[in-house]
Chains A and B, each alone.
Chain A
Amino acid sequence: QQQVKQSPQSLIVQKGGISIINCAYENTAFDYFPWYQQFPGKGPALLIAIRPDVSEKKEGRFTISFNKSAKQFSLHIMDSQPGDSATYFCAASGAGANNLFFGTGTRLTVIP
């Protein structure tokens, strides 16, 4: 059973546009929600993360929006650039847990 559901599977955005990737979870014990960025042939890099005590977190052009009641969170990439073209993974984890449950990934392509 997929603990974290991610959509869309792939996304094409024009340079300068907004990229939006969505994730949903069921386990209300989850309290840590990171996003990872992965370039081909490389390991995933932690991009930004949020805890459920806030509804939004922004770092540069990257913003996480979190809706606790809907059990959903999303990544927004503002002013998307060709260098943002990568696969993005959302994940979730419970307090004190070792498991990070990953979504299946979104392949983002930003066209010039």
Chain B
Amino acid sequence: SQTIHQWPATLVQPVGSPLSLECTVEGTSNPNLYWYRQAAGRGLQLLFYSVGIGQISSEVPQNLSASRPQDRQFILSSKKLLLSDSGFYLCAYRVGLVNEQFFGPGTRLTVL
């Protein structure tokens, strides 16, 4: 069976500090991978998606970036965090033709 992991689970960072969030998927190969952000009490905003190693598509221009160094690893990064980067970051994967996405447990990021 497939599982998706995210770490860390929670993170408190000062403004201007760097960020690295990691997502890994087990039990499948060549998944599509996605990063979403969910602001408090809001819906989900797609940030990046990847259809393969080194292939990244950005949906929203911002100070975040994503990388996919391995088939089942997806990383969300920032060089300098802003207050507005606070939120709940979710990674998701998809393995079939239908856009059926499965989400990880999320990372709660607070920028102070």
- Give the interface of A toward B (CB within 8 A): 32, 34, 36, 41-46, 49, 89, 93, 96-100, 102-105
Interface residues on B, range: 20 to 34
Beta-carbon contact of B46 and A42 below 8 Å: no
A residues near B94, Cβ cutoff 8 Å? 98
24 contacts between A and B (CB under 8 A): A41-B106, A41-B108, A42-B106, A43-B6, A43-B90, A43-B92, A43-B104, A43-B105, A43-B106, A44-B44, A46-B100, A46-B101, A46-B102, A89-B43, A93-B99, A96-B97, A97-B99, A98-B32, A98-B34, A98-B51, A99-B59, A100-B46, A103-B43, A105-B43
How many A-B pairs fall under 8 Å by CB? 52
B residues near A89, Cβ cutoff 8 Å? 43-44
A residues near B103, Cβ cutoff 8 Å? 36, 43-45
7 further A-B contacts with Cβ under 8 Å, apart from A98-B49, A98-B51, are: A32-B100, A43-B103, A43-B105, A43-B106, A98-B57, A103-B43, A104-B43
